[in-house]
Amino acid sequence: MTTVDVTIPVYNEEKDLPRNIPILHAFLSSPLFPYSWRIIIADNASTDATPEVGKELARSFSHVEYMRIEEKGRGIALRTVWSNSQADVVSYMDVDLSTELSAFPALVRAVVEEGYDVAIGTRLAKGAQVRRSWRRTFLSRGYMVLLKVALHVRFSDAQCGFKALRREVAQTLLPLTLDRGWFFDTELLVLAERAGYRIAQIPVRWEEDPDTRVRLLPTIVRDLQGVWRLTWQRPWRQLAPKKPY
């Protein structure tokens, strides 16, 4: 049976973890998700009670594991888990479950059954249903315009926390994906697209979490720095294209 690792990167999520991991566990255990799976709580340097909560969830629920990573950053959390995974498909989603879980089977199915190498949830394509502040909508759309102008990308949403990849694809791309924080998603997708990997885009239902850990201004600055770095370094030149780009 196809195996799927579902990584949940967390930083100081002592409240959302015990609330949402049981919801995710119940969904993955249902007939709606016909694959073998495990949940990995990737705790990247939390300073609250997240370690204790994560360990207790791993003891209480089957197929749930806790991993402590002594460095902050979503990118380093995903790199650490995915680099050591033996699953057929590696994936991740945000612990707040802002993206409705009903889209997750389609995300994995695109990789397992439909011939895609990467699958992403998108809040900016036709069919998506989104509830978020006008400011974050403006910033998200503006960011995608920047990516299309600067890097000529074709995907529609870089930073929705809802992605799946074939393990072999992830392990090919990870050595060149240098960012350790929020820009990790963008960098990974740019490299995947430039290498000629097929990317499925799954419209999702998404609702903004008012308790988000994303600090907008520092994140925007780091994203702009990341775009500048990719524009000049062009790391995709080190990849053997799967097909002409």
* Other C-beta atoms lying within 10 Å of the C-beta of residue 98: 22
Q: pLDDT per residue over 145-201, tens digit each?
A: 999 999 999 999 999 999 999 999 999 999 999 999 999 999 999 999 999 999 999
Q: What is the mean pLDDT of residues 37-49?
A: 97
On whether the CB atoms of residues 220 and 227 are closer than 8 A, the answer is no
Q: pLDDT per residue over 69-99, tens digit each?
A: 999 999 999 999 999 999 999 999 999 999 9
Q: pLDDT per residue over 101-149, tens digit each?
A: 999 999 999 999 999 999 999 998 899 998 888 777 888 889 999 999 9
CATH number of this structure's domain 3-238: 3.90.550.10
What's residue 235's pLDDT? Answer: 87
pTM score of the predicted model: 0.92
Supply angle C-alpha 184, 109, 148, rounded to 5. Answer: 40
Estimate to the nearest angstrom the gap between the alpha carbon of 130 and the chain centroid: 18
Where in the chain are the domains? 3-238
Between 218 and 240, name the one with better pLDDT. 218
Query: Above 70 in pLDDT, residue 213?
Result: no
How do beta strands 162-166 and 118-122 pair? antiparallel
Arithmetic mean of pLDDT over the chain: 93
What's residue 242's pLDDT? Answer: 61
